[in-house]
C-alpha cells in the first residue's frame, strides 16, 4: 500500500489528487494540507470531493514525521513547492512535483534534492501527453527542416505561467530531435513587422481564457500540407491519476530525478 500526502488540497488540482488517491487501488490518502490562512483547516478531506467522511482532516502543514511507504504530491506554487521539497529531503520522503514555472536556480535546487530522495518532476503527468512527446520526436525526425513548427497552447484564466510547462516540453522534444537549441530558436510572441519567418524558428502561442483545462497542438506546416499533433484534457483527473501513479512508482525508487516518461517506461 502506498500512502500519499497531497499539498494544496483546497485548489482544483488538489481536490482532483485527493479524489484520485481515494479511488486508486493500492493507494491510501495519508493526509492533505493547505496554506495556514485557509478556512478548510480541520475539514475532513471527504467533504472536499463529495465522498462524505474519510477520517482524514485537512492540516496547515506536512506531518511531523516521515510518511512510511509514502510520497508527497505537490501541485502548488514555486515557493510552497520548494518548502515542501526541503521537508521531503529532511524526512527522506519521495516527492512528485507538478508545479511549473521554476527559475534555473530553483531547478538546480530540485536537482540537488534528487541526490537524497526520489523526485518525479514533470511538466505534465497525463499519460496521453507523454505519448504525444514520443510522437513529436518521430514526426520531427521525419519531417525535418521541410516544415515550419509552431506550438499552440490554451489554459484557464487562473494559470500563472506562460507558455505552459507542457508546451515548453513539446518544443524541447521537437528541438532535440532536430538538433536545435530551443533557447536560440524559440519565439514567444509576434507583433508588428517581423519579417519572413526563419525555417528553424519554433514559435509559441498562448491563450488564457475561461476554464480550459489544457489544450496543446504542435503544428508542422509545409507548402501544400500540414500535420497537427494535438492533446486536449477535459478533466484534471487525467493529470491527478498520472501523479498518483508516479507516487506509487517513486516509493520503490532510489534517489534520483525522474520524469513521467520513466514512470511509464518510455525512457
Residues labelled catalytic: 155, 159
Rounded to whole angstroms, how far apart are CA atoms 152 and 219?
8
Rounded to whole angstroms, how far apart are CA atoms 171 and 202?
7
Rounded to whole angstroms, how far apart are CA atoms 196 and 229?
24
Rounded to whole angstroms, how far apart are CA atoms 140 and 183?
18
Buried b (16+ CB within 10 A) or exposed e, 224-261: eeeeebebebeebbbbbbbbbbbbbbbbebeeebbbbe
Question: In this structure, what DSSP letter does residue 104 have?
Answer: H
Q: Omega before 163 cis (within 30°)? A: yes
Pairing, β 27-33 against β 256-258 = unpaired
142 phi-psi bin (left φ>0, alpha ψ -120 to 50, beta other): alpha
Put the strands of the sheet holding 202-208 in their side by side order: 186-187, 202-208, 148-155, 214-222, 225-233
Closest to 255 measured CA to CA, from 122, 73, 87, 94: 94
Q: Which uninterrupted H or E stretch holds 209?
A: none
Amino acid at each position: 500500500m502506498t500512502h500519499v500526502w497531497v499539498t494544496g488540497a483546497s485548489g482544483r488540482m488538489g481536490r482532483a489528487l485527493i479524489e484520485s488517491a481515494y479511488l486508486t487501488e493500492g493507494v491510501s490518502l495519508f493526509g492533505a494540507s493547505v496554506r495556514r490562512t485557509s478556512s478548510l483547516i480541520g475539514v475532513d478531506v471527504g467533504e472536499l470531493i463529495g465522498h462524505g467522511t474519510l477520517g482524514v482532516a485537512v492540516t496547515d502543514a506536512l506531518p511531523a514525521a516521515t510518511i512510511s511507504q509514502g510520497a508527497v504530491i505537490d501541485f502548488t506554487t514555486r515557493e510552497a513547492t520548494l518548502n515542501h521539497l526541503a521537508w521531503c529531503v529532511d524526512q527522506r520522503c519521495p516527492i512528485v512535483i507538478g508545479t511549473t514555472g521554476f527559475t534555473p536556480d530553483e531547478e538546480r535546487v530540485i536537482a540537488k534534492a534528487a541526490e537524497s530522495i526520489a523526485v518525479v518532476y514533470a511538466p505534465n503527468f497525463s499519460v496521453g501527453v507523454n505519448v504525444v512527446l514520443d510522437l513529436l520526436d518521430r514526426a520531427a525526425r521525419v519531417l525535418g527542416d521541410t516544415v515550419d513548427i509552431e506550438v499552440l497552447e490554451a489554459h484557464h484564466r487562473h494559470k500563472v505561467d506562460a507558455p505552459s510547462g507542457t508546451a515548453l516540453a513539446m518544443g524541447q522534444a521537437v528541438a532535440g530531435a532536430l538538433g536545435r537549441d530551443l533557447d536560440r530558436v524559440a519565439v514567444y510572441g509576434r507583433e508588428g513587422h517581423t519579417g519572413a519567418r526563419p525555417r528553424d524558428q519554433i514559435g509559441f502561442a498562448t491563450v488564457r481564457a475561461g476554464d480550459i483545462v489544457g489544450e496543446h497542438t504542435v503544428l508542422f506546416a509545409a507548402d501544400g500540407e500540414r500535420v497537427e499533433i494535438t492533446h486536449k484534457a477535459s478533466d484534471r483527473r487525467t493529470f491527478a491519476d498520472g501523479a498518483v501513479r508516479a507516487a506509487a512508482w517513486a516509493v520503490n525508487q532510489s534517489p534520483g530525478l525522474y520524469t513521467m516518461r520513466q514512470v511509464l517506461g518510455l525512457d
